[in-house]
């Protein structure tokens, strides 16, 4: 994943994708300019909550990120989200937005599948009652699989001929086929490791191809389920069914509408709401010194319901959590680049940890430099305490995740980054 990670939000119509996207992207504080190089209409910036390095050094007061923001050691790091709208059953045959949907999807590194667990919308998103949302999980995976499989099968004859003529390794042949989905050689190799005891490629039948495609999907599109609309009375039984059927799939219970509602009230100064937590306080809770505005009876009741049905039962609205899980399946961790390893500041000023990038755990420090700065020659790398760090060292939370790069300058001198 040499570029910025991209999380795709998928789901059938009316499952709550837009509401989820609103909840994830609606920044509470006004934040810095857009950090990503490209921006197109279906991309949006979400904010991933991480524990900021400033809290390790008691420097919360001085933390002022260039992008996103930091509140008492809880940092909101920008992460790109992709709204993949228009998926309906039959998309692989061109239904709905069909191929457009699938084409968009290839850019995603992980998926958040928003599932309406209230059972009040059918597969096309039309209002109904008692619909079984288990079906949505299955048909969505099925659509993606049939799309990839369809693309493979169209060319299977020539793939096999070329493979045998060039005496290629299976992994190389499949790498060439899957490259169009933005898959690296390593990713395809990992996918092929998932499928054992395959016959030689020229003897693969449809069953073998399905197996390979499923393994590829597991690597290319790791998915987190956002079991949405948990505020609905029918949600409980559907959630249990899904959990039973998919015990190994990451799933988070969400109420996107609640998150949007609480943020709105918070912005309008009716409540204090700590995003991602169960805590919401009103004027009644905090008293007049809080500066909060009074709520009418109806809104007070609604907040009471939200506490009972969502916050206290599930611990939060789940929306912040679902993004955390998506970052976790990609194993992304925050890496901080600073110029001054003693003060953790940038070139000038007193603000600390201004730059933070999300990078896969275990990445080598040299690759981190290239990821952040492009093809540069690094003269030396320093870690916390002035410790020299090698380009081959790897990163983890609390290990080589605060770095200062000295670059070899073309004129022979060096410059700090």
Ligand X SMILES: Nc1nc2c(ncn2[C@@H]2O[C@H](COP(=O)(O)OP(=O)(O)OP(=O)(O)O)[C@@H](O)[C@H]2O)c(=O)[nH]1
* DSSP class per residue in 277-306: SS-EE-HHHH-GGG-PPP--HHHHHHHHHH
Backbone dihedral region for residue 407 (phi beyond 0: left; psi -120 to 50: alpha; all else: beta): beta
Nearer of residues 122 and 351 to ligand X, judged by Cβ: 122
Task: Name the DSSP letter for residue 202.
Answer: G
Which residue among 16, 65, 98, 222 contacts ligand X (CB under 6 A)?
A: 16
Task: Name the DSSP letter for residue 31.
Answer: -
Which residue among 7, 84, 105, 257 contacts ligand X (CB under 6 A)?
A: 257
Told to check if 319 binds ligand X by CB under 6 A, we report no
Contact range with ligand X by CB under 6 A, out of 212-220, 250-258, 339-347, 376-384:
250-258
Which residue among 73, 90, 125, 182 contacts ligand X (CB under 6 A)?
A: 125
Contact range with ligand X by CB under 6 A, out of 47-55, 90-98, 254-262, 283-291:
254-262
What is the distance in angstroms between the CA of the first residue and the CA of the last residue of the chain? 22
Contact range with ligand X by CB under 6 A, out of 128-136, 225-233, 265-273, 291-299:
225-233
Which H helix or E strand runs over 251? strand 250-254
Contact range with ligand X by CB under 6 A, out of 159-167, 172-180, 229-237, 261-269:
229-237
To the nearest whole angstrom, how small is the minimum distance from the Cβ of residue 163 to ligand X? 40
To the nearest whole angstrom, how small is the minimum distance from the Cβ of residue 10 to ligand X? 9
- Please answer whether residues 226 and 322 qualify as being in contact, where contact means their C-beta atoms are separated by less than 8 angstroms: yes
To the nearest whole angstrom, how small is the minimum distance from the Cβ of residue 256 to ligand X? 4
Told to check if 14 binds ligand X by CB under 6 A, we report yes
- Please answer whether residues 192 and 215 qualify as being in contact, where contact means their C-beta atoms are separated by less than 8 angstroms: yes
Alpha-carbon distance 191 to 200, whole Å? 16
Under rule CB under 6 A, which residues in 75-104 are in contact with ligand X?
Answer: 85
- Please answer whether residues 375 and 410 qualify as being in contact, where contact means their C-beta atoms are separated by less than 8 angstroms: no
Nearer of residues 309 and 376 to ligand X, judged by Cβ: 309
Token duo for residue 305:
């319901």
Told to check if 117 binds ligand X by CB under 6 A, we report no
Told to check if 229 binds ligand X by CB under 6 A, we report yes
Which residue among 4, 18, 151, 281 contacts ligand X (CB under 6 A)?
A: 18
Token duo for residue 289:
């010194």
Which residue among 8, 11, 65, 383 contacts ligand X (CB under 6 A)?
A: 11
Which residue among 6, 19, 346, 389 contacts ligand X (CB under 6 A)?
A: 19
Residue 89: name the closest of 140, 14, 125, 126 by CA. 140
Buried residues in 390-410 as b, exposed as e (16+ CB within 10 A):
eeebebeeeebbbbbbebeee
Which residue among 256, 280, 365, 368 contacts ligand X (CB under 6 A)?
A: 256
To the nearest whole angstrom, how small is the minimum distance from the Cβ of residue 6 to ligand X? 18
CA gyration radius, the chain: 24
Nearer of residues 89 and 125 to ligand X, judged by Cβ: 125
Contact range with ligand X by CB under 6 A, out of 8-16, 158-166, 214-222, 338-346:
8-16
To the nearest whole angstrom, how small is the minimum distance from the Cβ of residue 26 to ligand X? 13
Nearer of residues 192 and 256 to ligand X, judged by Cβ: 256
Distances (CA, A) of 368 to 86, 161, 187, 319, 396: 36, 40, 19, 29, 12
Residue 100: name the closest of 110, 112, 91, 109 by CA. 91
Contact range with ligand X by CB under 6 A, out of 224-232, 336-344, 395-403, 405-413:
224-232
Contact range with ligand X by CB under 6 A, out of 6-14, 139-147, 195-203, 320-328:
6-14
To the nearest whole angstrom, how small is the minimum distance from the Cβ of residue 43 to ligand X? 16
Which H helix or E strand runs over 280? strand 280-281
Other residues' Cβ atoms within 10 Å of the Cβ of residue 46? 25
Which residue among 6, 8, 10, 17 contacts ligand X (CB under 6 A)?
A: 17
Residue 117: name the closest of 265, 260, 12, 213 by CA. 12
Alpha-carbon distance 195 to 183, whole Å? 17
To the nearest whole angstrom, how small is the minimum distance from the Cβ of residue 94 to ligand X? 18
Q: For residue 279, count CB atoms less than 10 angstroms from its CB and return exposed for 0-12, middle for 13-18, buried for 19 or more.
A: middle
Q: Which residues bind ligand X (CB under 6 A)?
A: 11, 13-19, 85, 125, 228-229, 231-232, 255-257
């Amino acid at each position: 994943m040499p570029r910025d990670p991209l999380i795709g939000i998928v789901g059938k119509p009316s499952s709550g994708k837009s509401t989820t996207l609103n909840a994830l992207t609606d920044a509470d504080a006004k934040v810095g300019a857009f950090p990503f190089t490209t921006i197109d209409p279906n991309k949006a910036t979400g904010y991933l909550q991480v524990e900021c390095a400033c809290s390790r050094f008691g420097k919360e007061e001085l933390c002022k990120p260039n992008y996103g923001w930091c509140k008492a050691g809880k940092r909101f790091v920008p992460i790109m989200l992709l709204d993949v709208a228009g998926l309906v059953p039959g998309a692989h045959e061109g239904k709905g937005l069909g191929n457009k949907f699938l084409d968009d999807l290839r850019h995603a590194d992980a998926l958040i599948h928003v599932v309406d667990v209230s059972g009040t919308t059918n597969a096309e998103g039309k209002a109904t009652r008692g619909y079984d949302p288990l079906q949505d999980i299955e048909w969505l995976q099925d659509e993606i699989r049939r799309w990839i499989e369809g693309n493979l099968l169209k060319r299977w004859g020539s793939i096999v001929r070329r493979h045998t003529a060039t005496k290629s390794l299976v992994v190389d042949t499949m790498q060439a086929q899957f490259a169009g989905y933005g898959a690296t050689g390593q990713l395809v190799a990992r996918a092929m490791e998932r499928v054992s005891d395959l016959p030689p490629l020229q003897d693969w039948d449809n069953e073998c191809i399905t197996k390979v495609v499923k393994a590829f999907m597991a690597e290319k599109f790791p998915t987190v389920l956002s079991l949405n609309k948990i505020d609905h009375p029918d949600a409980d039984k559907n959630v249990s069914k899904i959990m039973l059927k998919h015990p190994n799939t990451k799933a988070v219970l969400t109420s996107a509408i609640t998150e949007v509602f609480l943020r709105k009230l918070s912005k309008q100064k009716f409540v204090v709401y700590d995003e991602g937590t169960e805590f919401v306080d009103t004027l009644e809770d905090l008293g007049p010194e809080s500066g909060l505005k009074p709520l009418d009876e109806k809104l007070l009741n609604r907040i009471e319901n939200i506490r009972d049905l969502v916050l206290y039962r599930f611990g939060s609205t789940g929306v912040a959590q679902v993004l955390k899980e998506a970052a976790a399946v990609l194993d992304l961790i925050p890496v901080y680049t600073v110029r001054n390893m003693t003060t953790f500041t940038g070139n000038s000023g007193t603000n600390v940890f201004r730059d933070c990038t999300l990078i896969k755990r275990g990445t080598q420090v040299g690759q981190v430099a290239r990821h952040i700065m492009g093809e540069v020659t690094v003269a030396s790398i320093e870690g916390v305490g002035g410790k020299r760090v090698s380009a081959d060292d790897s990163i983890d939370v609390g290990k080589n995740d605060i770095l200062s790069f000295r670059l070899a300058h073309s004129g022979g001198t060096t410059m700090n980054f």
